[in-house]
Structures are given as structure tokens and as C-alpha cells.
Amino acid sequence: MTNVREEQERLRKAGYLLGERFSAGAFSTIHLALRVSDASKKAVKLIDLRTTSQEYRRRFLPRELANVSTLRHPNIIDVEWVGRSKTKAYIVMSFAKTTLRRQLEKHTYIDETQARKWFYQLASALAYLHRRRIAHRDLKTENVLIDELNNIKLCDFGFSKLCSSNEFEVPSSTFCGSLGYCAPEILKRTPYNPCKTDIWSLGVVLYKMVVGGMPFGEGNDLGSVRRIALAQTKILEFPSYPPITGSCQDLIRSLLAFESDHRITLFDIFHSKWFREGGGVEQISADLSTGVAMSRGSSLVQDVVLNRLTTAASVVTSTEYETKRVHASARPTSVLSRIRMRLPSLSSKSFRRGNVRQ
């Protein structure tokens, strides 16, 4: 109880009211919260430092706290406040009603029209990270949130790494991520390019969205490592149902190329036939047909194009958000009245009755 009071007091001083827990991990919990200034709903990640390893506290936690504080992209979760005490770390972020994993549990798979939109947003977020020399290293459906406007919000940067060069030339050696999403080079425990392993994980996420299952299986023990590693060496097959278009299958196979040097780049993802078939990426087509001589070997040109693509994504995905935010801020009620009206939302029971399971 003392710890709860300490958490409440620390967050209150930062301007937030702590609500009940609605999710938990190995050494962290996610709670509902309200921002006192405007009574808006937030999520708070509480990391119990007493249950974490020394390596995590020394290496991974500082990276996460440093990275999340500086990221600004419409498809990356907004972090408003970060704090730390001797026993806890606090990350206050925007609230998202559900996750991609929960949507798949509810619907089994996502139709290609919706999957194309979400995948575009996720790839745009990853392009933004890679331009800032940050590798996520833990892409999976659990870390893909979906907000009230049905837009993707990438989260959880606990395994993220700030790379030393724009081309990610210095290999990583840390075994991190969930087995089912790990690239072959990680499972083989060989030094790997974290940018290219992010591309692999992106392919697993897309497969999971449109098929409803994992391409190579999943698990968390040594037997699962061997089984998944063996499956990765075989030709990737697609079920007859749900039906997957040939262009989508081609993109997934390009993302899940066994040899990392053969994997498609983020630049080529946006250039892919699957996106061109969608009809909702006119800005991408315009950017790719500006007449600029784009050499695939030129990282400068690719960076320019990806900047344009991510900027376009920012405009598309943030317009509705800004409109809703302006209307919400125009409500005539006082801050105190709004807090009183929103207080029931701090209950995990009312949270479960809400949209989170939709």
C-alpha cells in the first residue's frame, strides 16, 4: 500500500491522477491515469526496478527513457512525462484503446484494405526511427497500439538501440525480441544488422495481420528456437483462406528473405506493387514519380524520399486527430468538472467495459 501511495504522490506532483492497472508484464504494469490540467485520459507505464536485472537497469532502461522522450511521429506513441525514483521508473503516454494483437484475437485476421493502411503507418514509423539511427528491435503485434481514431501507435522501446552510423554498420549481438518475430541471424546468435532485423519483424507482423497466424510458429523455450529456426529455412507458404493477393504475398516474401542482404528496404516497401494497388497512397506515387534520379545505392536519395513519405503520412494520420483535439478543447466545462466526469474511467472495470476489447 505504501508503494501505491508513493506512486500516486509522485504522479500527482507531475500533474496526473493514477488509476487502476489494466495490463502487466514481467516487470512493469500499465495503469489508467488522468491529466489534471484538462482531464484527458492517459496511460502510465510503471517499471519496478527491484525486479529487473542489473543489465536492464544499466543498458536498456536508460535507452528507453532517452529515446521515448525525443520521438515525435503520428504513428509512435506520444510520451508526455518520464520520471524515475530509486525503485520505479514512470512513463506517461497517450492512451490507446486497444492493440493489434487484440484486434487479431477478435477478428482472426485483418482484410488487406485495412492491413495496408496500418502497415503503411507502421512502416512510416519505422522509417522515422531508422532515419534517427534508432532500431526498435521488438516489433510485434503486442507493441502496436490502435488509438480511438483507428490509427497505429508503435510503442515499447525497451530494446531499442541508438546505432552509431546512419547505415547501421556496427552489428548488434544482443538476443532480444520475441522468438516468433526474430530474424534468422538473431536465432543463430550471430552479429546482426538491427535495421534489417526490424524489416524481418515487420514482415512477420504483416503476415500475422493478413493470415491470422505466425509464419514460422512461436514459443519461448529452446525447442521453439530450433523449430522456428528450421521453419525459416523452408519456402514460405500461404493458406488458401483467407485469400491473399499475389502482390501482398510477394511483399511478405521480400520482407522475410532468409539472407538479410536480400531483404527489401523501407524505400522499396513504399514503392511496392501492393501499395500501388491500394488506391490510398497517391502521395507516395507522386513522390516516387517526381523525376528525381533515384539510385537504390544512394542512401541520401532514399533518405530524402523517406522524409517526404513520412511527412505525407504525418499529414494523413494527424488531420483527424487535430480536428478532434480542437473540438474537445472547446468544451465549456471547467477543468474540475471534467475531472469529476472522467473519474469513473480510472476504474479497470469501466475500462474493460469500454472500447479496449473492440
Contact 336, 343 (CB under 8 A): no
Contact 256, 215 (CB under 8 A): yes
Cell of 82: 518520464
DSSP SS3 for 270: helix
Q: What one-character-per-residue DSSP string does 28-96 give?
A: EEEEEEEETTTTEEEEEEEEEGGGS-HHIIIIIHHHHHHHHTT---TTBPPEEEEEE-SSEEEEEEE--
CA dist 135 and 137 (Å) reads 6
Q: Which of 321, 335, 336 is nearest to 75 (CA)?
A: 321
Question: What is the side-by-side strand order in the sheet with 98-99?
Answer: 98-99, 144-146, 152-154
Give 229's Cβ-side CA count (13 Å radius).
Answer: 13
CA dist 259 and 256 (Å) reads 9
Q: Which of 156, 182, 326 is nearest to 260 (CA)?
A: 182
Q: What one-character-per-residue DSSP string does 153-209 give?
A: EE---TT-EE-SSTT--S-B----S-GGG--HHHHTT--B-HHHHHHHHHHHHHHHH
Instruction: Please identify which of the residues 78, 138, 156, 287 carries the catalytic annotation.
Output: 138
Cell of 283: 502521395
CA dist 240 and 237 (Å) reads 10
CA dist 149 and 214 (Å) reads 27
Is 156 assigned a catalytic role?
Answer: no
Please name the residues in contact with 353: beta carbons below 8 A apart, sequence gap of 6 or more. none
Q: Active-site positions?
A: 138
